Amino acid sequence: MNKIITRIIASIAVLAIIIYLVFPNIFSSEAENNLETPPAAGSSKIAIDAQIVEYETFKNDIVLTGSLIANESVQLASEISGKIDNIYFKEGEYVKEGKLLVQTNVADLKANLQRLKYTAQLNAEMEKRQKQLLEKEAISKEEYDIAFTNFKTTQAEMDALQAEIDKSRIRAPFTGFIGLRYVSEGSYITPSSQIASLYNVDPIKIEFSVPSRYSGLVKKGSKITFSSEAENEERKATVYAIEPQIDPVTRTLTARAETQNPNNELIPGQFIRINLSLENRENAILIPTTAIMPKANGHTVFIIKDGRAHLKDVELGARTANRVEILKGVNKGDTVAIAGVPQLKDRAEIEIKKLEK
């Protein structure tokens, strides 16, 4: 009996081996099917934050930095070399245009001028006598011309010498405040010597640079508000001049504005923060920059509809610090994904964790 059972088991084993060799796919397909069958799991929806789009007024303001510069400024210097005889100003003094500030010694020039005056007087009398003789035909025209030329030449030399003497007097070219003095009476100065600075600071100018993408929106007459590093008070100024070309290195456009400074509280050289209002637009659509996905030739967003994310091409407008204007592609009332966007694919199922309005 045991032999019969043993033979039956052996026969079954041999049959099984034959079946496996002939039909190997029977066993492998079952194993693969078991491996490919996913385990039971929860929801496969992607969690995101979203925002319902509404119209709003877009205040297109940009924050820039700039500096204050004097309305007029000059480094006082002498046109000629010489020793300073007198200084007629005090440091920090307010001076009027034309006030004499410095006088250098020109005694030698004055002596030469006096000598030329005597020569000029003599040449004038000579020219007068020669003219009378010419009228009587007692001398030739050539002799008179020599006398006339000597007279005029002496006058020209006197004028040139007087101009040199005038250069010894340094006057204020405009009304303003004198800065610190760098010379003393008795100092020998040359045209390269710095004497002092003169500033006119009312009105005062503001110089700043605007990124090239905003260059077409800044015009003469544009209003700005600003505050200096020394105070938090906001002041107003008006753009009065714009550089006619964009700087090829910084890709910015330089502009200048001015404002009144009657109490001289604003000082040239101060760093300032500028708020430039470019334009205000009604019925604008603004969404967070986190909602924007770049692509090869533009930008996209995900519009949420019927529980799925739908990829949509958009056209961008101006940007602020954390939001961007949408010109095309998004309408009022659309729900836009604003967080978890990198995980999304077109028509992916989503779950909104937070909905902003």
User: Residues 29-42: what's their mean pLDDT?
Assistant: 41
Q: How many beta carbons lie within 10 A of that of residue 299, not counting itself? A: 17
What's the pLDDT at 43?
A: 54
Give the pLDDT band (50/70/90) at residue 9.
low
Average model confidence (pLDDT) across the chain: 86
- Which CATH number does the domain housing residue 103 bear? 2.40.50.100
What's the pLDDT at 40?
A: 39
For residues 248 and 291, the answer to whether their CB atoms sit within 8 Å is: no
β-strands 46-52, 196-200: how paired?
unpaired
Question: pLDDT tens digits for 166-217?
Answer: 888 999 999 999 999 999 999 999 999 999 999 999 999 999 999 888 887 7
Given a cut of 80, whether residue 297 has pLDDT beyond it is: yes
Q: Where in the sequence is the domain holding 21, given as residue range(s)?
A: 2-29
Which amino acid type is present at position 265? E
Query: Following CA atoms 153, 155, 161, 165 in sequence, which dihedral angle do they give, to the nearest 10 degrees?
Result: -170
Q: Which residue has the higher pLDDT, 219 or 232?
A: 219
Question: Could you tell me which residues come within 8 angstroms of residue 138 by beta carbon, excluding any fewer than 6 positions away?
Answer: none
Given a cut of 70, whether residue 68 has pLDDT beyond it is: yes
Measured between alpha carbons, how far is 160 from 80 in angstroms, rounded to an integer? 13
Give domain status of residue 41, yes or no: no
* 302 in the same domain as 252: no
- Which CATH number does the domain housing residue 218 bear? 2.40.30.170
Given a cut of 60, whether residue 57 has pLDDT beyond it is: yes
* 135 in the same domain as 85: yes
User: Residues 23-35: what's their mean pLDDT?
Assistant: 45
What is residue 250's three-state secondary structure?
coil
* 172 in the same domain as 106: yes
* 206 in the same domain as 67: yes
Given a cut of 80, whether residue 256 has pLDDT beyond it is: yes
- Within the chain, how many helices (H) and strands (E) appear? 4, 22
Measured between alpha carbons, how far is 291 from 338 in angstroms, rounded to an integer? 4
C-alpha triplet 182, 187, 193: angle, nearest 5°? 50
Say how many domains are in the chain.
4
Give domain status of residue 37, yes or no: no
What's the pLDDT at 20?
A: 58
Given a cut of 60, whether residue 29 has pLDDT beyond it is: no
What's the pLDDT at 198?
A: 96
Measured between alpha carbons, how far is 239 from 222 in angstroms, rounded to an integer? 5
pTM: 0.60
